[in-house]
Amino acid sequence: MTTNLAANPRFSAIQYNYHKRILNLIPDLIFQISVTAQHEFFFTYLNKSIISFFEVNRFEIAGNPFEVIKNRVHPEDWDHFLQSIIKAKDSSDHWNHEFRVVLQTRGILWFKAKATIDIDENGDAIFIGSLTDITDIKQREFRIIESEARYQFALEASNNGVWDYNVATDRVYFSKESLAILDFDVSDNLVTNSKWDERIHPDDYPQYKQEIANHSNGQTSYFENTKRVLTKNGVYRWIRSKGKVIERDAQGNPLRIIGVHTDVTSEKEEEQALQAHMEIISKQNNRLLNFAHIVSHNLRSHTGNFKMLINIIDETDDPQQKEECFGFLKTTSKALSETIDHLKELVDIQSTIIHKKENLNLNAFLNHTLELLSKEIKDHNVNIVNLVDANETVQFNPAYLESIFLNFTTNAIKYAHPERQPEIRYSLQKEQGKLVLLIQDNGVGINLEKYGEKLFGMYKTFHQHPNARGIGLFITKNQIESMGGSIEVESQVNVGTTFKINFSNEIQ
């Protein structure tokens, strides 16, 4: 014999009560809403969580639950709340909606409604679903958003950009600020570490990679490096990178590195300007030392000679000795006059540092110098190699440029090697965006280990040449430096000498 339990009224009542008890044990608010074609709302089921969710009692719910809920939904959210129900009903789609309620005891809370929708035989939409208290989740979201906003503001205020490097894929996330530092935006395809590396200045790249390697190998707790990076607009900026490995594989190899970029171009330029200022002060101090050398040594020697000769003239009665002393006086007077002339020439250079600069054709000035020295060049059988571009120009003082060519050319002729034909080679090269003039000879050379520090000093000579005065290189160096340039020398005894004149102006 079989029994149809479903047909048993007592069993149906038990089953209903059982389901009701289960639904009331669920902490979420379980509901069933009927929405008519005219958008009328009827609650056909609510579990007892309605009491705690909306802070109501049984009598309020028994009256008009829809009005109770309306009175508790945040006024700013009510219209959107209704529209979401109507939209879901008209599309027969799922209903998912977040909204706020205002309660007397617990204040403002966030709820999330989720429901499936069925259409009955009357065309009414039946919403069956649940309401969940998501206040804690929303508060965490708001804290995260607030924290991100603060972080974003801090990044913008500090001129920092964030990067996140996945070592395995070679892909890098660059924040908007990090890209903006280099004039890029999010649409630019700068997503691999290799593309970033390509933009680092070649002179700075080895040190940059070494410092990353030191950190990756565990030698440092983080890495920090400052280098020049090429922007989208084709100019270099000084960028300081700070980073740290935050994930490694089982063997300790880096998997992920994060860090920040900071544009320190202004800071670097100020540092370089300060360094240049310090170098100027150092050079000025060296010039003062040279002046002191002249005053304390040369002038004192001359005045000492004058005093000695005058004493001899006063004390002797020998006419011949007096005549010799007068001859020595003339020689000493001439030497003193020459020293004063050199001093005046140096003062003229330093007191007119802001000489007028002109756009000068280097090749034209060189040819003019060679023409002036044509007799000496011919007499000494000098082979001239002029590799200077006919169109290359430089901003410089005309008198100084002529003096430089004359001085180095006459020196090369004067100190030619006696066992081979003299050769002087003039050429140009570009270093760090600036023009460099090279004047090379195959003469006797200079022992730089012995004389290097004294090479450009006043009255310093390094060869036993009868016409060596030790003033030419000193004057030439001061002329070059007064124009903002610098001079370097490379030399090997019995091989030759190369002078490098570094001009200060950028190549256009």
Say if residues 480 and 466 touch (Cβ distance below 8 Å).
Answer: no
**Which stretches of 295-390 are DSSP H helices?**
300-315, 319-351, 362-372, 374-379
Q: How far apart are CA 187 and CA 283, in angstroms?
A: 50
* The pLDDT of residue 154 is above 70: no
DSSP character string of 57-93: -HHHHHH-HHHHHHHHB-HHHHHHHHHHHHHHHHHT-
pLDDT-derived band at 364, boundaries 50, 70, 90: very high
Mean pLDDT of 355-366: 84
* The pLDDT of residue 224 is above 80: yes
pLDDT-derived band at 462, boundaries 50, 70, 90: very low
| Percent of the chain scoring above 70 in pLDDT | 79
Range name among 103-107, 179-183, 278-282 with the lowest pLDDT average: 278-282
pLDDT-derived band at 132, boundaries 50, 70, 90: very high
What is residue 159's predicted lDDT score, i.e. its pLDDT? 65
Say if residues 262 and 163 touch (Cβ distance below 8 Å).
Answer: no
What is residue 74's predicted lDDT score, i.e. its pLDDT? 95
Q: How far is CA 480 from the centre of its chain?
A: 31
What is residue 178's predicted lDDT score, i.e. its pLDDT? 84
* The pLDDT of residue 412 is above 70: yes
What is residue 371's predicted lDDT score, i.e. its pLDDT? 83
Judged on CB neighbours under 10 Å (0-12, 13-18, 19+), 282 is exposed
List the one residue out of 358, 365, 418, 355 whose CA is nearest residue 394.
358
What is residue 13's predicted lDDT score, i.e. its pLDDT? 45
Q: How far apart are CA 211 and CA 220, in angstroms?
A: 9
* Exposure b/e, 26-39, CB count within 10 A at least 16 = b: eebbbbebbbeeee
**CA angle (146 as vertex; 145, 152 as ends), nearest 5:** 85
Q: How far apart are CA 72 and CA 67, in angstroms?
A: 9
Mean pLDDT of 218-224: 91
What is residue 480's predicted lDDT score, i.e. its pLDDT? 84
Each residue's pLDDT tens digit, 60-114: 877 778 888 889 999 999 999 999 999 998 888 889 999 999 999 999 999 999 9
pLDDT-derived band at 6, boundaries 50, 70, 90: very low
Cβ neighbours of 488 (radius 10 Å):
11
Mean pLDDT of 297-312: 68
Each residue's pLDDT tens digit, 226-237: 999 999 989 999
| Maximum mean pLDDT: which of 285-294, 472-481, 495-504 | 495-504
pLDDT-derived band at 298, boundaries 50, 70, 90: low
Mean pLDDT of 246-262: 89
Structure pTM? 0.41
List the one residue out of 115, 135, 121, 132 whose CA is nearest residue 43.
115
How confident is the prediction for the chain on average, in pLDDT? 80
What are phi and psi for residue 175, nearest 5 degrees? -65, 165
Q: How far apart are CA 257 and CA 280, in angstroms?
A: 42
| Percent of the chain scoring above 90 in pLDDT | 28
List the one residue out of 70, 72, 94, 64 whose CA is nearest residue 82.
70
* Backbone dihedral region for residue 170 (phi beyond 0: left; psi -120 to 50: alpha; all else: beta): left
Q: How far apart are CA 274 and CA 267, in angstroms?
A: 11
What is residue 314's predicted lDDT score, i.e. its pLDDT? 85
Each residue's pLDDT tens digit, 472-492: 677 788 778 878 888 888 888
pLDDT-derived band at 469, boundaries 50, 70, 90: very low
* The pLDDT of residue 9 is above 80: no
Each residue's pLDDT tens digit, 330-346: 877 776 776 676 566 55
Q: How far apart are CA 306 and CA 102, in angstroms?
A: 109
Q: How far apart are CA 177 and CA 162, in angstroms?
A: 7
- Helix/strand/coil (H, E, C) string of 94-134? CEEEEEEEEECCCEEEEEEEEEEEEECCCCCEEEEEEEEEC
